[in-house]
């Protein structure tokens, strides 16, 4: 793929990242339950226009998995420390799912070091999360996620401490296969090789504990969000069929220079289902209005 593996110890934690390409820096952050490899379908083409850094966030993949620090403000501090370590100035930031939450926290906390922000199916936790239903509305919880009344049951499941590690140790692919079928329009676009990679990464209790911690800090994330100022840098929100409506409603409350687009023929894992649409949207956004 033309990318090189690297490690950096920053903010008291060892982070794994891969880098490739030349040009303006683009920091890419993955989500649950994936790793840096989730950018494999799009990173090569993006690296033709940008210097692409794909980072395993705190608790993910080959990065360290400490006991604490999984609130998005602390995780954003990890990324900021990495940016400084790499000698970069302003960077473009792109995040999917949990990675989108961390990317937004970076933009809130270090706006002078964020040129443009892209979030895909993931926005910073807000108080609306506290009103998510525990029980799905009748007829809305079936084989595929309902676009109008999505039921993300893992938001609650991942709050439980210690039990998921016991249930899923060595069996994580059972969850993966169910999840991909539920939130993707065409789950065959997530290859058996990719499934094996993610299952291997998340099969051990420490990895499950660390990744669930991203969810268990949402209350602190929501509290932190109350002190943040509106984002002034250009922001692009990209939503799949399961998140587009929510992102259209939520992002205008936090971003002044905003564009939201939908990739409605894709489920949550857009890089796998519709990589060309993602690449086109990202490149167009990052190259427009350049002096």
pLDDT band at 1 (very low <50, low <70, confident <90, very high): low
Q: What is the mean pLDDT of residues 234-262?
A: 97
Contact indicator for 164, 187 with CB cutoff of 8 Å = no
Q: What is the mean pLDDT of residues 62-74?
A: 98
Using left for φ > 0, alpha for ψ between -120 and 50, and beta otherwise, residue 133 falls in beta
CA 54/CA 97 separation, integer angstroms: 14
In this predicted structure, the answer to whether residue 283 has a pLDDT above a threshold of 60 is: yes
Interval 90-149: pLDDT, tens: 999 999 999 999 999 999 999 999 999 999 999 999 999 999 999 999 999 999 999 999
Q: What is the model's pTM?
A: 0.97
By DSSP bridging, strand 4-10 and strand 13-20 are antiparallel
In this predicted structure, the answer to whether residue 277 has a pLDDT above a threshold of 60 is: yes
CA 145/CA 250 separation, integer angstroms: 20
Interval 192-231: pLDDT, tens: 999 999 999 999 999 999 999 999 999 999 999 999 999 9
Contact indicator for 151, 136 with CB cutoff of 8 Å = yes
């Amino acid at each position: 793929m033309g990318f090189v593996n690297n490690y950096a110890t920053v903010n008291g934690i060892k982070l794994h990242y891969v880098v490739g390409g030349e040009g303006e820096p683009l920091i890419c952050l993955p989500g649950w339950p994936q790793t840096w490899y989730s950018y494999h379908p799009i990173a090569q083409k993006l690296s033709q226009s940008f210097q692409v850094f794909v980072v395993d966030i705190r608790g993910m993949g080959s990065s360290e998995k400490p006991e604490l620090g999984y609130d998005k403000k602390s995780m954003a501090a990890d990324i900021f420390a990495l940016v400084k370590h790499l000698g970069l100035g302003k960077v473009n930031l792109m995040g999917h799912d949990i990675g989108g939450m961390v990317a937004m926290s970076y933009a809130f906390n270090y706006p002078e070091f964020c040129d443009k922000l892209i979030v895909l199916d993931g926005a910073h936790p807000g108080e609306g999360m506290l009103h998510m239903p525990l029980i799905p509305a009748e007829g809305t919880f079936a084989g595929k996620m309902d676009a109008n009344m999505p039921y993300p049951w893992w938001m609650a499941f991942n709050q439980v401490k210690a039990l998921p590690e016991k249930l899923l140790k060595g069996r994580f692919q059972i969850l993966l296969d169910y999840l991909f079928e539920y939130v993707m329009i065409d789950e065959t676009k997530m290859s058996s090789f990719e499934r094996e990679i993610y299952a291997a990464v998340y099969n051990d209790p420490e990895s499950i504990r660390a990744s669930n911690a991203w969810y268990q800090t949402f209350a602190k994330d929501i509290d932190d969000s109350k002190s943040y100022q509106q984002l002034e840098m250009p922001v692009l929100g990209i939503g799949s069929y399961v998140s587009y409506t929510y992102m259209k409603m939520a992002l205008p409350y936090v971003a002044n220079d905003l564009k939201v687009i939908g990739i409605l023929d894709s489920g949550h894992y857009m890089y796998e289902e519709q990589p060309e649409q993602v690449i086109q949207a990202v490149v167009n956004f990052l190259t427009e209005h350049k002096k």
